[in-house]
């Protein structure tokens, strides 16, 4: 068993099904909840991988200059160390935004409005040689629930998936760090909770909360079909079980240059 560090930024966005997929693939998970007072480690020496989850906070600072959450500067520093030291990293939604921002990308409130519920993203050409994304179908099902977006990717980030309204849906930094704007971890209970919390937003958009939950629950099997094998391949990378031929620059000891390091 290898241990991966999981950072839970919000009590309403836990590991969900992603945790089951990762442990089923042989990973042991250590979950830290800074929102509940857990301290983040100064280094990743004790971990083979990192997973950073989503949350309702903003990745960027507020008008008063305060970070979206008190631990975000520490978390961004940890994400820089992860990429620099080639620690396999998977960052979801807010986590992906923090990963991008930590390396010089830009996150802002989207001018396209919230993206909520079931959706599709389209793979980009670079995904065909990516160790995780090359097995993902051309138009995979995903779950969206965000108001902010990554408007500028970090320099040298590799774009892996896009959509018409949000062009930066998935990306890779270096050879072992991935960010996905969408959610793959959700179960029905999580979506029901989000719909209740975001009732005002759904009403403003003209969405029926019950219909959103029903539609999202309806694609969970399709999401699992695509993203459970994706999670298993990430776990294999963490455990050193992914063939070197599948990993860019495997065995060279060279870290790809990333802005912000």
Flag whether pLDDT at 1 surpasses 70: no
Q: Cα–Cα distance between 104 and 151 in angstroms, integer? A: 11
pLDDT of residue 87: 97
Q: What is the pLDDT of residues 209-220, one digit of tens each?
A: 999 999 999 999
pTM greater than 0.85 (yes/no): yes
pLDDT of residue 201: 87
Name which of 228, 148, 151 is nearest 184 in CA terms. Answer: 228
Q: What is the pLDDT of residues 51-88, one digit of tens each?
A: 999 999 999 999 999 999 999 999 999 999 999 999 99
Mean pLDDT of 18-30: 97
Q: What is the pLDDT of residues 231-245, one digit of tens each?
A: 999 999 999 998 765
Q: Which two tokens stand for residue 25?
A: 């693939």
Is the Cα torsion angle 202, 208, 209, 214 positive or negative in sign? negative
Q: What is the pLDDT of residues 134-176, one digit of tens each?
A: 999 999 999 999 999 999 999 999 999 999 899 999 999 999 9
pLDDT of residue 2: 74
Q: Cα–Cα distance between 138 and 128 in angstroms, integer? A: 10
Pure H helices in the chain = 16-24, 72-84, 94-102, 188-197, 199-205, 209-218, 220-238
Pure H helices in 60-187 = 72-84, 94-102
Counting residues of the chain whose pLDDT is more than 90, the rounded percentage is 86
* C-alpha 95: how far from chain center: 5
Flag whether pLDDT at 250 surpasses 90: no
Number of H helices, E strands in the chain: 7, 12
Higher pLDDT, 1 or 91: 91
pLDDT of residue 248: 61
Q: What is the pLDDT of residues 96-108, one digit of tens each?
A: 999 999 999 999 9
Q: How many CB atoms lie within 10 A of CB 228?
A: 18
**Residue 3 bridge partners (DSSP):** 28
CATH of region 2-246: 3.40.50.880
Q: Which two tokens stand for residue 219?
A: 């694609």
Flag whether pLDDT at 255 surpasses 80: no
């Amino acid at each position: 068993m290898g241990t991966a560090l999981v950072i839970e930024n919000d009590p309403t966005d836990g590991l969900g099904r992603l945790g089951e997929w990762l442990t089923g693939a042989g990973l042991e998970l250590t979950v830290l909840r800074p929102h509940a007072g857990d301290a983040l480690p100064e280094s990743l020496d004790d971990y083979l991988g990192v997973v950073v989850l989503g949350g309702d906070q903003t990745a960027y600072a507020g008008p008063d200059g305060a970070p979206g959450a008190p631990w975000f500067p520490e978390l961004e520093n940890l994400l820089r160390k992860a990429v620099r030291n080639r620690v396999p990293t998977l960052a979801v939604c807010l986590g992906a935004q923090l990963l991008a921002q930590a390396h010089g990308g830009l996150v802002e409130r989207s001018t396209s409005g919230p993206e909520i519920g079931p959706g599709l993203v389209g793979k980009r050409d670079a995904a065909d040689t990516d160790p995780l994304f090359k097995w993902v179908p051309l138009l995979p099902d995903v779950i969206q629930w965000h108001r902010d977006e990554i408007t500028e990717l970090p320099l040298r980030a590799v774009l892996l998936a896009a959509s018409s309204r949000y062009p930066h849906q998935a990306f890779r930094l270096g050879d072992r760090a991935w960010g996905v704007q969408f959610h793959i971890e959700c179960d029905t209970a999580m979506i029901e909770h989000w719909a209740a919390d975001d009732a005002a937003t759904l009403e403003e958009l003209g969405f029926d909360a019950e219909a959103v939950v029903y539609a999202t629950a309806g694609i969970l099997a399709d999401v699992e079909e695509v993203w459970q094998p994706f999670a298993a391949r990430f776990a294999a990378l963490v455990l050193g079980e992914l063939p070197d031929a599948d990993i860019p620059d495997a065995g060279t000891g060279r870290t790809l240059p990333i802005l912000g390091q």
